[in-house]
Chains A and B, each alone.
Chain A
Amino acid sequence: MAETVNAHETHGDDPSRRDFIHIAAMATGAVGVAAVAWPFIDQMNPSADTLALASIEQDIGKVAPGQQLVVKWRGKPVFVRHRTPAEIAASVKDDHADMRDPATDASRTKPGKQEWLIVIGVCTHLGCVPNFGTGDYGGWFCPCHGSVYDTAGRIRKGPAPRNLELPSYEFTGPTKVKIG
Chain B
Amino acid sequence: MSGHSKYEPKTGFERWLDVRLPIVRMAYDTAIDFPTPKNLNYWWTFGGILAVCLVIQIVTGVVLAMHYVANAGLAFNSVEHIMRDVNHGWMIRYIHANGASMFFLAVYVHIARGLYYGSYKAPREILWLLGCVIYLLMMATAFMGYVLPWGQMSYYGAVVITNLFSAFDNVIPGVGTAITTWLWGGFAVDNATLNRFFSLHYLLPFMIAGVVGLHIWALHVPGNNNPVGVDVKSKEDTVPFHPYYTVKDGFAILVFLLLFSWFVFFAPEALGHADNQVMANPLATPSHIVPEWYFLPFYAILRAVPDKLFGVLGMFGAIAMLFALPWLDTSKVRSMRYRPTARWFFFLFIAATLGLGWCGGKLPDDVVIPIGRDAVTGDPTGFTVVMLSRVLAVYYFAYFIAVLPLLGLFEKTLPVPDTISTPVLPKGGAAMLSGATASPEKKG
Contacts and interface: CB of A to CB of B under 8 A. Distances in A.
Given A145-B364, A146-B363, A159-B308, A72 B186 contact: no
Interface of B: 156, 159-160, 162-164, 166, 170, 181-190, 192, 196, 282-289, 303, 305-309, 311, 363-365
A128 interface: yes
Given A128-B159, A129-B285, A144-B285, A45 B185 contact: yes
Contacts of B196: 44
A46 B308 contact: no
Interface of A: 41, 44-47, 50, 70, 72, 74-77, 121-122, 125-131, 142-146, 159-161
B387 to A, nearest CB: 13
Given A47-B192, A146-B363, A161-B308, A74 B159 contact: no
Contact of A74 (B183, B186, B285): B186
A74 B287 contact: no
A171 B389 CA distance: 47
B181 A46 contact: yes
A92 B170 CA distance: 28
B308 A143 contact: no
Contact of A129 (B181, B190, B284): B284
B444 to A, nearest CB: 59
B186 A50 contact: yes
A161 B159 CA distance: 17
B307 A159 contact: yes
Residue picked from A41, A143, A146, most chain B C-beta under 10 Å = A143
A128 B187 contact: no
Contacts of A50: 185-187, 190, 192
Contact of A143 (B187, B189, B286): B286
Contacts of B365: 146
A122 B285 CA distance: 10
Leading 4 A-B pairs by shortest Cβ distance: A75-B188, A127-B163, A74-B187, A126-B163
A125 B307 CA distance: 9
A75 B190 contact: yes
Contacts of A77: 282-283
A75 to B, nearest CB: 3
A31 to B, nearest CB: 22
Nearest to A130: B285
Residue picked from B159, B186, B190, B365, most chain A C-beta under 10 Å = B186
A72 B162 CA distance: 20
Contacts of B287: 131, 143
Given A74-B186, A131-B287, 16 more contacts: A44-B185, A46-B185, A70-B283, A72-B283, A75-B186, A75-B282, A76-B187, A76-B282, A77-B283, A125-B163, A126-B164, A128-B289, A129-B283, A146-B363, A146-B364, A159-B311
Contacts of A47: 185, 192
A74 B163 contact: no
B305 to A, nearest CB: 8
Contacts of B156: 128, 144
A58 to B, nearest CB: 14
Given A72-B282, A129-B285, A44 B160 contact: no
Contacts of B160: 126-128, 144
Contacts of A160: 308
Contacts of B185: 44-47, 50
Nearest to B363: A146
A159 B306 contact: yes
29 contacts: A44-B182, A44-B192, A44-B196, A45-B181, A46-B184, A46-B186, A50-B186, A74-B188, A75-B189, A125-B308, A126-B163, A127-B162, A127-B163, A127-B166, A128-B156, A128-B159, A128-B285, A128-B289, A129-B284, A129-B285, A131-B285, A131-B287, A145-B303, A145-B364, A146-B363, A159-B305, A159-B311, A161-B307, A161-B309
A154 B148 CA distance: 34
Contact of B285 (A72, A143, A161): A143
A45 B177 CA distance: 12
B190 A127 contact: no
A9 B219 CA distance: 50
A72 B280 CA distance: 14
B288 A143 contact: yes
